[in-house]
Amino acid sequence: MVTIANQPEMNQSEFLQAVMPVKDKLYRLAKRLLVSKEEAEDATQEVLMKLWAGKKNMSNYRSVEAFAMTMTKNFCLDRLKSKSAGNLKLVHTNYTDSSPSLQQQVEARDSAGWVSRIMEELPEQQKLVLQLRDVEEYEFEEIGEMLGMNPTAVRVALSRARKAVREKLLEKHSYGIG
């Protein structure tokens, strides 16, 4: 986390130093919410432009990273609610794997696809908590700050999300056996 000293307005170098380390996290969060790679790239760029436009106020934020993640979440949710949401791709694209074995590629794609589909079925709050904790590796307090929840509620939502994913995976893999 980069702390910014109180000053009237950041220059470009200071902005890049504060924001660029979290760019990939912003993209991954946008991708999880919007599904489409192109939409996630657009959302990330839009958030970065908004951060640049508001750079004079950045020194007011305790954590630029938390602020940027919250902005990304809000932007993506607004995007999903907008009329243009009908144009968004609703299915994940297949992930390409450079493994030499075709069977490994198929299995990896199948597993990643199942987990992604299961995550998409989770309630919005659980999906976000799971993404922020297990993928982005934020602490419970940071997630609580970003989502406006207390850390105990974050733990409960994470536990429920993990349980739902685990149950769905077990259901899928044990279907027809027994």
DSSP 96: P
Residue 78 has φ and ψ, to the nearest 5°, of -60, -40
* Whole-number percent of the chain with pLDDT over 70: 74
Q: How far is CA 85 from CA 26, 92, 128, in A?
A: 19, 15, 19
pLDDT band at 16 (very low <50, low <70, confident <90, very high): confident
Look up residue 64 and give its two tokens.
């630029």
H helices of the chain, in order, are 12-19, 23-34, 37-53, 64-81, 102-121, 124-130, 140-147, 151-174
Kindly report the pTM of this predicted structure: 0.53
Name the residue ranges covered by the structural domains of the chain. Answer: 12-86, 99-174
Which two three-digit tokens encode residue 54?
């508001």
Q: How far is CA 123 from CA 79, 92, 157, in A?
A: 17, 18, 10
Distances (CA, A) of 48 to 15, 61, 77, 114, 141: 10, 16, 16, 31, 24
Class of domain 12-86: mainly alpha
Q: What is the mean pLDDT of the chain?
A: 78
What are the tokens at 87?
A: 């144009």
Mean pLDDT of 36-54: 90
Q: Rounded to an integer, what is the distance from CA 11 to the centroid of its chain?
A: 28
pLDDT at 149: 93
Query: What is the per-residue pLDDT across 87-143, written as a single tens digit (0 to 9) for each?
Result: 544 444 444 444 446 666 566 566 667 777 888 889 999 999 988 888 888 999 999
The CATH class given to the 99-174 domain equals: mainly alpha
Q: Do the domains 99-174 and 12-86 match in fold?
A: no
Whole-number pLDDT of residue 89: 47
